[in-house]
Amino acid sequence: MAKIKPSKGAPYARILGVGGYRPTRVVPNEVILETIDSSDEWIRSRSGIETRHWASDEETVAAMSIEASGKAIADAGISAEQIGGVIVSTVSHFKQTPAVATGIADKLGTAKAAAFDISAGCAGFGYGLTLAKGMIVEGSAEYVLVIGVERLSDLTDLEDRATAFLFGDGAGAVVVGPSQEPAIGPTVWGSEGDKSDTIKQTVAWTDYRDGTVEKFPAITQEGQAVFRWAVFEMAKVAQQALDAAGISVDDLDVFIPHQANVRIIDSMVKTLKLPEHVTVARDIRTTGNTSAASIPLAMERLLATGEAKSGDTALVIGFGAGLVYAATVVTLP
């Protein structure tokens, strides 16, 4: 029996660079109030959102990804030719095939990098990060680009009072590369498909195509059910990620949860009993909920503003449609 040669990858992996792109159009709550019966005070108190960014026709999923990726590659101090894998997490690329990742890999100038899309909703960045880590340790790539990108304005029902104010557009990207010491902890991830109806697309594309419905598909959710699940169950997952990494809340410098809702974030902070010294990302206030893009965008902003610094230990957790989740501890680039 022939023996397969073992893979020779790096002992560990780490995030080496981060980049973000927010569309130029800033949309205040007043614009949302043109189509729903609500108030600026209600939106802020329920979600924490003051403004969000909506993409123009030119700011496509691919275009935003390329902008964010270019910044991440420059931040990592490598060239695009060194990228061996491109992973794009998105639910708002409307071509079933080819994967948007392939065009992004080509436009960036990678040397025929492996490229594919994943659909894991708001946990997509965590899923992509875990896959990238595995590729580097396994030895199939030296550097992997992980992108979270959404144009959720295309999937927003502006007459749905429960969701019209939530969603924004944007792209965040990180370069993951080799490390001589652990810098991305074990991932605690999973799914609860029995709760999949709590966040979903309103109707299938085929229903719209066949004329069964006239309204374009949108994202809808059962707000209270999602809130309870996120607050109570995801705090447990976050703690499991800390335990898996072998650290306590006192060892943390930064907490970067999915930017779903400020009340969810604040409740998780309280449940986890995070110390005062831990910086908490609340990028949702001016960016909205950008699903797969929210964690890398929040990470990029914290580093850019100096609220977090290179080498900080951060707990990241994404959770959303599916219901799916992924949490891990990372060293910031």
Q: What is the pLDDT of residue 8?
A: 85
Classify the phi-psi angles of 14: left when phi > 0, otherwise alpha if psi is within -120 to 50, otherwise beta: beta
Tokens of residue 314, six digits: 């951060």
- Which pTM was predicted? 0.96
List beta partners, residue 221.
199
- Chain-wide mean pLDDT for the chain? 96
Query: Roughly what angle, to the nearest 10 degrees, separates helices 262-272 and 223-245?
Result: 40
Residue 1 has pLDDT above 90, yes or no: no
The pLDDT of residue 7 is above 90? no
Q: How many CA atoms does the CB half-sphere of 199 hold within 13 Å?
A: 27
Distance between CA 302 and CA 89 in Å, rounded?
A: 21
CB 253 within 8 A of CB 315: no
Of 6 and 116, the structure prediction assigns the larger pLDDT to 116
Check pLDDT > 90 for residue 185: yes
Q: What percent of the chain has pLDDT over 90?
A: 97
10 vs 306: CA distance, rounded Å: 30
Q: How far is residue 266 from each of residues 105, 257, 294, measured CA to CA in Å?
A: 37, 10, 16
Chain segment 268-321, per-residue pLDDT in tens: 999 999 999 999 999 999 999 999 999 999 999 999 999 999 999 999 999 999
The answer to whether residue 6 scores a pLDDT higher than 90 is no
| pLDDT (0 to 100) of residue 87 | 99
Confidence of residue 71 (pLDDT cuts 50, 70, 90): very high
261 included as an active-site residue: no
Beta bridge partners of 12: 179
Average pLDDT over residues 54-71: 98
Looking at residue 5, what is its pLDDT? 85
**Using alpha carbons only, what angle is made at residue 187 by residues 180 and 299, rounded to the nearest 5 degrees?**
75
Mean pLDDT, residues 156-176: 97
- Residue-wise pLDDT for 217-273, tens only, equals 999 999 899 999 999 999 999 999 999 999 999 999 999 999 999 999 999 999 999
Mark whether 289 is an active-site residue. yes
Evaluate whether 125 touches 324 at the Cβ level (below 8 Å): no
Q: Is 258 a catalytic residue?
A: yes
Peptide bond into 323 cis (omega under 30): yes
Q: DSSP letter for 110, please.
A: -
The Cα–Cα gap between 111 and 105 comes to 8
197-214 burial, b if ≥16 CB within 10 A, otherwise e? Answer: ebbeebeeeeeeeeeeee
Average pLDDT over residues 38-61: 97
CA neighbor of 108 nearest in space, from 155, 53, 145: 145
Tokens encoding 21: 């792109």
Could you tell me which of 189, 68, 83, 56 has the C-alpha nearest to residue 144?
Answer: 83
Q: Which of 29, 53, 93, 258 is catalytic?
A: 258
Distance, in Å, from the CA atom of 138 to the CA atom of 200, rounded to the nearest integer, reads 35
Catalytic, out of 29, 53, 93, 122: 122
At which residue do the structure tokens 């999915």 appear? 258
Distance CA 51, CA 57 (A): 20
Residue 177: name the closest of 130, 128, 148, 136 by CA: 136
pLDDT of residue 244: 98
Contact 231, 268 (CB under 8 A): yes
Three-state DSSP state, 70: helix
Read off the pLDDT band of 145 (50, 70, 90): very high
- Which has more confidence, 55 or 7? 55
